[in-house]
Amino acid sequence: MPHHVRKPLVRTAVAVACALVAGCGATAEPDAKPAGRDASKPAASPSVRPVRPVTPVTPSAGAPLAGRTIVIDPGHNPGNFRHTAEINQKVDIGTNRKECDTTGTATADDYTEAAFTLDVSHRLRDLLKAQGATVVLTHDADRPYGPCIDERARIGNEAKADAVVSVHADGSAAGNRGFHVILPARVQSGAADTAPILAPSRTLGERIAAHFARATGTSPANYIGSGTGLDIRDDLGGLNLSTVPKVFLECGNMRDPKDAALLANAAWRQKAAHGIAEGIGTYLKG
Q: Could you give the residue numbers annotated as active site?
A: 250
- CA 165 to each of CA 80, 96, 101, 263: distance values in angstroms, whole numbers, following the listed order: 20, 22, 17, 18
157-186: contacts with Zn ion (CB under 5 A): 168
Of the listed pieces 11-19, 101-109, 159-167, 174-182, which binds Zn ion according to CB under 5 A?
Answer: 101-109
Instruction: Confirm or reject binding of residue 23 to Zn ion (CB under 5 A).
Output: no
Whose Cβ is closer to Zn ion: residue 133's or residue 181's?
A: 181
Q: Return the H-helix or E-strand segment holding 214.
A: helix 198-216
CB atoms within 10 A of CB 129: 18
Report in angstroms how near the CB of residue 56 gets to Zn ion at its nearest: 26
Q: Between 31 and 60, how does the x/- string for binding to Zn ion read (CB under 5 A)? A: x-----------------------------
Residue nearest to Zn ion (CB): 168
Helix (H) or strand (E) holding 97: strand 97-99
- From 170, 271, 284, 265, select the one nearest 211 (Cα to Cα): 271
Q: Does residue 123 interact with Zn ion by CB under 5 A?
A: no
- Give the number of residues in contact with Zn ion, rule: CB under 5 A: 4
Nearest to Zn ion of 31, 73 (CB atom):
31
Q: How far, in Å, CA of 98 to CA of 78, rounded?
A: 20
Residue 204 or 254 having the CB closest to Zn ion: 254
For the CB of residue 205, give the shortest distance to Zn ion in the complex, in Å.
Answer: 16
CA distances from 103 to 33, 34, 243 (A): 7, 8, 25
Give how far the C-alpha of residue 160 lies from the chain's centroid of Cα atoms, to the nearest Å: 18
Instruction: Pick between residue 87 and residue 284 the one whose CB is nearest to Zn ion.
Output: 87
Of the candidates 226, 239, 115, 133, the residue with the CA atom closest to the CA atom of residue 189 = 239
Tell me if 75 contacts Zn ion by CB under 5 A: yes
Q: How far is CA 55 from CA 51, 59, 109, 147, 223, in A?
A: 12, 12, 34, 17, 38
Segment interacting with Zn ion (CB under 5 A) among 41-49, 67-75, 82-90, 226-234:
67-75
CB closer to Zn ion, 168 vs 180: 168
User: Binding Zn ion by CB under 5 A: which of 74, 78, 94, 104?
Assistant: 104
Q: How far is the CB of 246 from Zn ion (least distance, A)?
A: 15
Least distance in Å: CB of 63 to Zn ion? 31
Does residue 184 have a cis bond before it (omega within 30 degrees)? no
Residues 6+ apart with CB under 8 A from 157: 241, 242, 243, 244
Taking the complex as a whole, how short is the minimal distance between the CB of residue 75 and Zn ion, in angstroms? 4
Binding residues vs Zn ion (CB under 5 A): 31, 75, 104, 168
